[in-house]
Structure 1
């Protein structure tokens, strides 16, 4: 049997944590290994338990989720961190994703979507609400674009087309339909693009595109 995906819950509402803990505990491939009620406590719990995925509330006392995420992502081999928010277009979530968070989830997301998101992030593809991530950066990316890295020039014409569509938040299935390709081919293109640009996942691809004015 495969080792369960280890999850830490960080939220200042004990009732919310209890509900998520019960939901995750009902899944044989998921396991809650720690909880925290503020960002400072979260840093200690995460470093002690070494989870695979952290569900991190943005707004908390003592230390908020953005600051806690920034500190944790400086650690060697940090966990994947998913921000929890009550707002679908949240400037704080955009800041956390720029720092390296793997995406964001609404607190009122459907249970199955939350469970799927944990598994997706753990698998490394980390495409949580890609279209929502694009909308987030459309609204909150007002900084001047940085110079385009040389690595972008190594993409083929086809890879640049796929990159542009992925940066707009289209899923593999949507790209496949639009470009008359199989989903497997699109997935291969995305993997090559991420490798060439040294990006971790689809969310970071969106960040890269906005950071360098490619959207």
Structure 2
């Protein structure tokens, strides 16, 4: 079904479809999306087939999709959606994927692979910052198993002590303003450190930088917020 919010969106808002056969989860996520000024929920689907049809009709910018669906899986559905609209950003939610599933996800064209029981803040950040051609895998999904394929690490730069401080604060969920205040530096200076961190780690977003840092053991292990 389509959300009433679909008629109220604006060009500045990212249009989001939710695909999950658990109605309560889908409705709660839709409500959370519509509380954000830069996001708008444009429809729910409860199966892979319904998701493909809805995406053809609604043309969302982002799809948040459960891996386990009644008539297939999220990666198969993602492939069909991306064949129709290659620039669609797709985030797949799962529990404890096998190495084979992670390996397939890496070549599927999706932008994110996140735990379904993870934090709402992490999911909303992924919806905002996911970009085609770059896949973020949440570190908890890699840590849950042996032999999982590593996240690509294109950046080879060594982080300075200050950059590591900023990275640790990023991982704790603080924004640039809070990080600048905690470190006693200006916001512009803090943004410069963030830009340097992204470049050295080969990341496109702060969320991706934190995920890469976790897999490269640049940060102490922490439970998911």
TM exceeds 0.5?
yes
Match of 2:113 in 1: 104
Q: Does 1:139 align with 2:150?
A: no
Q: Residue 93 and residue 23 in structure 1: after superposition, are their counterparts in 2 closer, same or farther (change >3 A)?
A: farther
Q: 1:173 aligns with which of 155, 167, 170?
A: 167
How far off is 1:96 after superposition? 2.3
For residues 1-215 of structure 1, what are the structure 2 equivalents within 5 Å?
A: 3-87=12-96, 89-91=97-99, 92-121=101-130, 127=136, 129=138, 131-132=139-140, 135=143, 139-141=147-149, 160-161=156-157, 173=167, 182-189=193-200
Q: Residue 65 and residue 37 in structure 1: after superposition, are their counterparts in 2 closer, same or farther (change >3 A)?
A: same
CA distance in 2, matches of 1:125, 1:78: 12
CA distance in 1, matches of 2:136, 2:149: 19
Q: Is residue 110–residue 135 contact of structure 2 (8 Å, CA) maintained in 1?
A: no
SS at match of 2:40: strand
Structure 2: gaps (5+ residues): 1-9, 169-191, 213-225
CA distance in 1, matches of 2:110, 2:193: 29
**CA RMSD after TM alignment:** 3.9
How far off is 1:44 after superposition? 1.0
TM-score, length of structure 2 as denominator length: 0.60
1:89-134 alpha-carbon deviations (Å, 9 max, x no partner): 44434422321211212111222222122112169876452x3466
How far off is 1:14 after superposition? 1.0
Structure 1: gaps (5+ residues): 143-154, 175-180, 196-200, 207-215
How far off is 1:75 after superposition? 3.0
CA distance in 2, matches of 1:2, 1:123: 19
1:140-181 alpha-carbon deviations (Å, 9 max, x no partner): 449xxxxxxxxxxxx9xxx5457xx9xxxx9x936xxxxxx9
Q: Residue 29 and residue 182 in structure 1: after superposition, are their counterparts in 2 closer, same or farther (change >3 A)?
A: closer
CA distance in 1, matches of 2:148, 2:135: 21
CA distance in 1, matches of 2:51, 2:132: 23
Q: How many pairs were matched up?
A: 171
Higher relative contact order (CA 8 A, sep 6+): 1
TM-score, length of structure 1 as denominator length: 0.62
